[in-house]
Structure 1
Amino acid sequence: MTYAFSQYQKQSGSYLSSREVEVMAFRHVNTLLSQAGDHEKRVAALAANLKLWSILSMSVERVDCPLPPVLRDDLIKIGSWAMCYSNTAFNAPRDLQPLIDVNNDMIEGLTASASTVQGIAPAAPQGAYTTNAPSSSLELVG
């Protein structure tokens, strides 16, 4: 970590957790996708979706990613699908709702994970995707 970055972090404060930032990013991209009425907005929304999934995919592929291997593999598969679908939608009149649905599932998972980490009982039974690591996968990239 550079000195400038550490000073910025100290001064800027940490008002949102990394999970909250991730949820905000997915919500922002979903807003762009749902409001993509013309070609220009559609291209911008798809580019934002590609960027988000690219960053997420890169972060879960890192060797120091704290997520369980099963979850990492699933996120890579979903990310690959989302990026492929987004690329195809650039040049074809494909419905954007499947991308919005996947992003909504991510939002739901991140908010459920945040509740679990904060000590609130999980909504679903714990299984292969549980982790004790409160850190986010996206905070590894940067």
Structure 2
Amino acid sequence: MTYAFSQYQKQSGSYLSSREIEVMAFRHVNTLLTQAADHEAKVAALAANLKLWSLLSLSVERVDCPLPTVLRDDLIKVGSWSMRYSNAAFNAPKDLQPLIDINNDMIEGLAAAAPAPAPQGTAPSVSDAYGATSARSSLELVG
């Protein structure tokens, strides 16, 4: 690996907060779900939704997850429902709108907890949305 490549890898993503990355992930999955016109696209969108919710569920189940217990339990319940619905929709004529709605709720919640944009020319600081707890995002804990 070259020095330039390693520096790029180290710096890529450093200008987005963890919450912004999570919002981008949910928006991407919702785009896939919305644009799923044929069976192949539907399967790919559902697989992406399953992967996203699996990662999120794994991260909130960790003992070092900084989220409050009530929020963790709620995310696990919503994630379980979303994954069950996604699995059921793989080979059944199920409407994908409920999955899109749940993901939109997550986007709204993450956006509400995100910090105000940083002044131009500086990198945004990591959100301290949970007071004195760790500022790492739930998806970041899995990696």
Which interval holds the TM-score relative to the shorter structure? 0.7 to 0.9
Match of 1:131 in 2: 130
Report the CA distance shift for 1:64/1:9 in structure 2 as closer, same or farther (over 3 A).
farther
Residue aligning to 1:42 = 42
Matched residue, 1:121:
none
**Percent identity of equivalent pairs:** 80
Matches within 5 A, 1:51-130: 51-115=51-115
The runs of 4+ residues in structure 1 deviating greater than 4 Å are 6-9
Q: Distance in 1 between matches of 2:59 and 2:99?
A: 20
- 2: CA distance between counterparts of 1:11 and 1:114? 21
Structure 1 residues 60 and 89: alpha-carbon distance in aligned structure 2, compared to 1, 3 A threshold: same
Question: Once the 2 structures are TM-superposed, how far is the Cα of residue 43 of structure 1 from its aligned partner?
Answer: 0.2
TM-score, normalisation: structure 2: 0.81
- Output the CA distance in 2 between the equivalents of 1:8 and 1:113: 28
Output one character per residue of 1:28-86: Cα deviation in whole Å (capped at 9) or x when no partner: 00000000000000000000000000000000000000000000000000000000000
Moved more, 8-17 or 74-83: 8-17
- Using the TM superposition, name which of 68-77 and 106-115 deviates more: 106-115
Is there any run of 5+ residues in structure 2 with no aligned partner, and where? Answer: 1-5, 119-128
**5+ unaligned residues in a row in structure 1: which ranges?**
1-5, 119-129
- Report SS of the residue matched to 1:91: coil
Query: Could you tell me the TM-score, scaled by structure 1's length?
Result: 0.81
CA distance in 1, matches of 2:13, 2:21: 14
Cα distance, 1:9 vs structure 2: 5.6
CA deviations over 1:61-116 (Å, ceiling 9, x no partner): 00000000000000000000000000000021000000000000000000001148
Residue 14, structure 1, aligned to residue 14, structure 2: yes
